Amino acid sequence: MSMHIRRLPHHAAIAAATTPAALLNAVYANRGVTADTEVTPGLSALEPAQQLRGLDAAVSLLEQQVRAGGHILIIGDYDADGATGSALAVRGLRALGAAQVSYLVPSRFAFGYGLTPAVVDVAAKQQPALIVTVDNGISSAAAVTRAHELGIPVLITDHHLTGRQLPDAAAIVNPNQPGCDFPSKFLSGVGVMFYLLAALRSRLRETGWFTAKRPEPNLTDFLDLVALGTVADVVPLDRNNRILVEQGLRRIRAGRACPGVLALFQIAGRDIKRANAADLGFFIAPRLNAAGRLEEMSLGVECLLTDDPARAQIFAQDLDQLNRRRHTIESEMKQQAELHLDSLNLNDATLPPAFCLYGDDWHQGVLGIIAARIRERYHRPVIAFADSGDGKIRGSGRSIDAVHLRDAVAQVAHNAPGLIEHFGGHAMAVGLTLRIEDFPRFQTLFHSAVAAQLGTTTPEPEILSDGALPPQLLTLETAELLHLAQPWGRNFPTPCFDDCFNMEQARIVGEHHLKLRVTTAAGQSIDAIGFNLAEDLPLAQGQVQLAYQLGVNDYRGVRSVQLLVQTIQSI
């Protein structure tokens, strides 16, 4: 899809830059960062944990079980944020001296999303003294009630938006719960757990828990997990999250990550010495997520828990194979969805405000990816549904910036009580369950809810550009600097530039990608690649305007700069 290119405010400073360092400063300015202290702040600059509502009560619950040797059961979500958060909780609590810590990641196929009464019944068989949720639980009032009936206290740690009713848990730590003054509302599930562990360590330190035989752990040793989960969950990279991710990446580059993370880098063919956020988001997270999508996320958690490099390699190989299967399933489902949409002959006048798609043979674990792919094509919110085998369907949705997806689904639930059995999520993603016969009604109400948010606005895809890159800075040195400069991500995007080029060569590679050779106005010839832009081949001729990121091509040990094309426009 061709996108409108909109230049950011400091594009003139980009064009005037004479050195890579000056260019980087202008890039930072385009993202609201102008002070040197904001560029590379250390862990001491993190927001203080004391502002997290419910933290003291949560710490007291954990301290009691640590001191008593009680069984603490971690119940995590089945995505990468939940897996890293679960692994962090187990590793961290054990390091702090907890004698009995185990985990449970419910199957998405057997139980659906989140803590449910059925999950509590399964957990109760392990006789926990305390249940601790990670990356879920804030919408699980019925499950917490069931735990009360069984005499099991529940500590909820989550980051998702709250519903109309909070669970009656023993404690809740969630930066997005009502009354919480914690300024960074974008912590991931693993980020919330890191804060909780740090607060627990402080309490144990103050009360004399640590001794020569029970030394105080350095929790920064686990920041590789925090970085991976934060990037994988695509939460906005505000200042607080950038600190967590940057510090985690530094430890990965130094080889100080857990064996599972190192093994995943190796199986993905990524260089840990040059690790950046894109490696985590596009190469490591998909392999970890594949376990929860196709089988059981316990495989991913075990990969992150083992201290044996050989076992970590075996786990990483299994995850890689699952990811290959996932890719095959995704391709088949995407083709089915696109054939259906193509048959509708949609145009700008008939394009609906949102899409609800359903496939009776679709795989539940890949729905979110399909929703994201269709969203990219049409720039509309998308929810994809599949049968759950019990007369119900489960959906996974992805949104655009103009539509708060969870609010739209919540509006449907409010307007039609009982229509949606269960839902949860945030602005950009949602999961839900409903009866198959209610799909048409949900689709109608969902379209109306999205249309109400959009009003008279027609969502148009656009790409934000830092401006035209000076010709003398179109170099490997600049590409390397930008590669490692910051953890780029949501709300702190990878530097993107735009300019006019003459097209020398263009061909399709790997079915979906464009391999290009272009010439700058200054006569410099440079390679470029456009991932998933094969349908734009007719545009790749003559003079074109490209929006692109700078990449590094490593071919047989020879490194060179290349353009990573984001969109092509004819001139």
Strand partners, 497: 548
Identify which of 292, 290, 256 has the alpha carbon closest to the alpha carbon of residue 275.
256
DSSP secondary structure letters along 49-83: GGGSTTHHHHHHHHHHHHHHT-EEEEEE-SSHHHH
What is the rounded CA–CA span in Å between residue 260 and residue 257?
8
pLDDT tens over the chain, length 571 residues: 568 899 999 999 999 999 999 999 999 999 999 877 777 789 999 999 999 999 999 999 999 999 999 999 999 999 999 999 999 999 999 999 999 999 999 998 888 778 999 999 999 999 999 999 999 999 999 999 999 999 999 999 999 988 888 999 999 999 999 999 999 999 999 999 999 999 999 999 999 999 999 999 999 999 999 999 999 999 999 999 999 999 999 999 999 999 999 999 999 999 999 999 999 999 999 999 999 999 999 999 999 999 999 999 999 999 999 999 999 999 999 999 999 999 998 888 889 999 999 999 999 999 999 999 999 999 999 999 999 988 999 999 999 999 999 999 999 999 999 999 988 888 899 999 999 999 999 999 999 999 999 998 888 889 999 999 999 999 999 999 999 898 999 999 999 999 999 999 999 998 889 999 999 999 999 999 999 898 888 888 899 999 999 999 988 888 999 999 999 998 8
What is the rounded CA–CA span in Å between residue 48 and residue 199?
10
- pLDDT value at residue 235: 94
**What is the strand order of the sheet 71-76 is part of?**
100-104, 71-76, 130-134, 154-157, 171-173
- pLDDT value at residue 2: 65
What is the rounded CA–CA span in Å between residue 257 and residue 420?
41
Cα-Cα-Cα-Cα dihedral of 87, 92, 93, 97, to 10°? 140
Which element (helix H / strand E) includes 104? strand 100-104
Contacts with 437 (C-beta within 8 Å, 6 or more apart), sequence order: none
- pLDDT value at residue 558: 87
Q: In CATH, what class is 4-37+463-570?
A: mainly beta
Contacts with 438 (C-beta within 8 Å, 6 or more apart), sequence order: 419
What is the rounded CA–CA span in Å between residue 404 and residue 427?
4
Q: Are 55 and 49 in contact (CB under 8 A)?
A: yes
What is the rounded CA–CA span in Å between residue 549 and residue 570?
19
What is the rounded CA–CA span in Å between residue 232 and residue 542?
39
CA 73 to chain centre: 25
DSSP secondary structure letters along 532-569: T-GGGGGG-SSEEEEEEEEEEEEETTEEEEEEEEEEEE
CA 483 to chain centre: 19
CA 177 to chain centre: 20
CA angle 256, 261, 265 (to 5 degrees): 105
Q: Domain residue spans in the chain? A: 4-37+463-570, 45-321, 344-454
Identify which of 323, 342, 335, 325 has the alpha carbon closest to the alpha carbon of residue 359.
335
DSSP secondary structure letters along 357-372: EEETT--GGGHHHHHH
**3-state DSSP assignment of residue 499:** strand
- pLDDT value at residue 1: 56
Q: Which amino acid is at 283?
A: F
First to last CA, the chain: 16
Q: Are 254 and 56 in contact (CB under 8 A)?
A: no
Domains 4-37+463-570 and 45-321 belong to one CATH topology: no
> Phi-psi region for residue 79, left (φ > 0), alpha (ψ -120 to 50) or beta?
beta
Identify which of 25, 115, 67, 2 has the alpha carbon closest to the alpha carbon of residue 466.
25
What is the rounded CA–CA span in Å between residue 241 and residue 108?
28
Read off φ and ψ for residue 161, nearest 5 degrees.
Answer: -65, 145
DSSP secondary structure letters along 130-162: EEEEES--TT-HHHHHHHHHTT--EEEE--SPP
Identify which of 54, 135, 132 has the alpha carbon closest to the alpha carbon of residue 100.
132
pTM: 0.93
**What is the strand order of the sheet 420-425 is part of?**
355-359, 382-387, 392-398, 429-435, 420-425
Q: Around Cβ 331, how many Cβ atoms within 10 Å?
A: 14
What is the rounded CA–CA span in Å between residue 265 and residue 259?
10
Structure tokens at 297: 């996320």
- pLDDT value at residue 398: 97
**3-state DSSP assignment of residue 452:** helix
Structure tokens at 187: 């912590």
Structurally, what CATH architecture does the domain formed by 45-321 represent? Answer: Alpha-Beta Complex (3.90)
One CATH from 3.30.70.150, 1.10.10.10, 3.40.190.10, 3.10.310.30 for 344-454: 3.10.310.30
